[in-house]
Structure 1
Amino acid sequence: MIMRSVVVLPAPLGPSRPKTLSRGIATERSLTATWPAKDLVTPESWMALSLNCVIIGPTMSSVRDAGGGSGGAEAPSQLDSEREFIPRERDDAKGLFYVVVSTVAYGSLPILGKLAFAAGVRTTGLLAWRFTGACVLFALLARRAPELAWGTRFTLWGLGVIFVGNTFCYFAALLTIPASTASLIFYTYPVIVTLLSAALGLDRLTLRGVGAAVMAVSGCAITAGTVMGVSPRGAVLALAAAFIYAAYVMLGSRFAAGIPSETVSLHVTQACAAIFLPLALLKGGLWLPPSPVSWGLVACVAVVCTVVPIRAFLAGLARIGPARAAVVSSLEVLVTIALAAAVLRERIGPRQWAGGALILGGVLLQNLGALRRMGRVSVSRPPRAAV
Structure 2
Amino acid sequence: MNQAKGIWFAVLSACGFGAMPIFANYAYRAGGDVITVLTGRFLFAAIALWVIVWVRKLPVRIGKWAVVQCVLLGMLGYAVVSFCYFASLKYISASMTAILLYLYPAFVTVLSLLTRQEKWQARKGVALFCSFFGLLMIVGLSGGQINLLGVLLGGAAGLLYSFFILVNRQVGLGLPVLTMTAFLVTGAFLAFAAIGLLNRSIHPVMAPYGYLAILAISLFSTVLGIWLFSASIQLIGPANASIISMFEPVFTILLGYLLFAERMTPLQMAGALMILLSLFILQLKLPNRTGKNTHTEIS
| Partner Cα distance (1:360, 1:186) in 2 | 11
User: 1:195 aligned to 2:106?
Assistant: no
2:67 to 153, 164, 167: 153
1:109 to 20, 38, 43: 20
2:83 to 168, 190, 193: 168
| Partner Cα distance (1:229, 1:295) in 2 | 32
User: What is the aligned partner in structure 2 of residue 76 from structure 1?
Assistant: none
User: 1:305 aligned to 2:239?
Assistant: no
1:185–1:300 CA distance, 2 compared to 1 (3 A): closer
User: What is the aligned partner in structure 1 of residue 295 from structure 2?
Assistant: none
User: 1:272 aligned to 2:184?
Assistant: no
Identity %: 22
- Post-superposition Cα deviations, 1:281-327, rounded to whole Å, max 9, x if no partner, equal 43343425542x33322211111222234456678899759xx96x9
| TM superposition shift of 1:140 | 0.6
| Partner Cα distance (1:239, 1:353) in 2 | 17
How many residue pairs end up in the alignment?
A: 274
User: SS where residue 121 of structure 1 aligns?
Assistant: coil
| Partner Cα distance (1:121, 1:232) in 2 | 23
Query: Whose RCO is larger (CA < 8 A, sep 6+)?
Result: 2
| TM superposition shift of 1:170 | 4.2
1:214–1:274 CA distance, 2 compared to 1 (3 A): same
CA contact (8 A) 2:84 2:153 kept: yes
1:105–1:348 CA distance, 2 compared to 1 (3 A): same
CA contact (8 A) 2:105 2:282 kept: no
What one-letter code is carried by the residue in structure 2 that aligns with 1:247? F
- Counting only pairs closer than 5 Å after superposition, residues 3-82 of structure 1 correspond to structure 2 as none
User: What is the aligned partner in structure 1 of residue 278 from structure 2?
Assistant: 362
User: What is the aligned partner in structure 2 of residue 123 from structure 1?
Assistant: 34
Please list every run of 5 or more consecutive structure 2 residues that lacks an aligned counterpart in the other structure: 288-299
| Partner Cα distance (1:206, 1:316) in 2 | 29
What one-letter code is carried by the residue in structure 2 that aligns with 1:137? A
| Partner Cα distance (2:152, 2:258) in 1 | 32
1:121–1:181 CA distance, 2 compared to 1 (3 A): closer
CA contact (8 A) 1:181 1:226 kept: no
User: What is the aligned partner in structure 1 of residue 296 from structure 2?
Assistant: none
1:130–1:344 CA distance, 2 compared to 1 (3 A): same
CA contact (8 A) 1:220 1:355 kept: yes
User: SS where residue 138 of structure 1 aligns?
Assistant: helix
| Partner Cα distance (1:230, 1:351) in 2 | 13
User: What is the aligned partner in structure 2 of residue 283 from structure 1?
Assistant: 200
1:312–1:217 CA distance, 2 compared to 1 (3 A): farther
CA contact (8 A) 1:328 1:363 kept: no
| Partner Cα distance (1:219, 1:101) in 2 | 27
What one-letter code is carried by the residue in structure 2 that aligns with 1:158? L
**TM-score normalised by length of structure 2:** 0.72
1:130–1:246 CA distance, 2 compared to 1 (3 A): same
Which stretch shows the higher mean deviation, 218-227 or 120-129? Answer: 218-227
CA contact (8 A) 1:331 1:360 kept: no
User: What is the aligned partner in structure 2 of residue 139 from structure 1?
Assistant: 50
| Partner Cα distance (1:190, 1:99) in 2 | 18
User: What is the aligned partner in structure 1 of residue 261 from structure 2?
Assistant: 345
Structure with the bigger percentage of helix: 2
| Partner Cα distance (1:301, 1:164) in 2 | 15
What one-letter code is carried by the residue in structure 2 that aligns with 1:302? S
| Partner Cα distance (2:246, 2:135) in 1 | 8
Please list every run of 5 or more consecutive structure 1 residues that lacks an aligned counterpart in the other structure: 1-89, 372-387
- Counting only pairs closer than 5 Å after superposition, residues 193-342 of structure 1 correspond to structure 2 as 193-219=108-134, 221-222=136-137, 226=142, 238-256=154-172, 258-281=174-197, 282-287=199-204, 289-291=206-208, 293-311=209-227, 320=238, 332-342=248-258
CA contact (8 A) 1:102 1:310 kept: yes
| Partner Cα distance (2:171, 2:51) in 1 | 23
- C-alpha RMSD of the superposition: 4.0
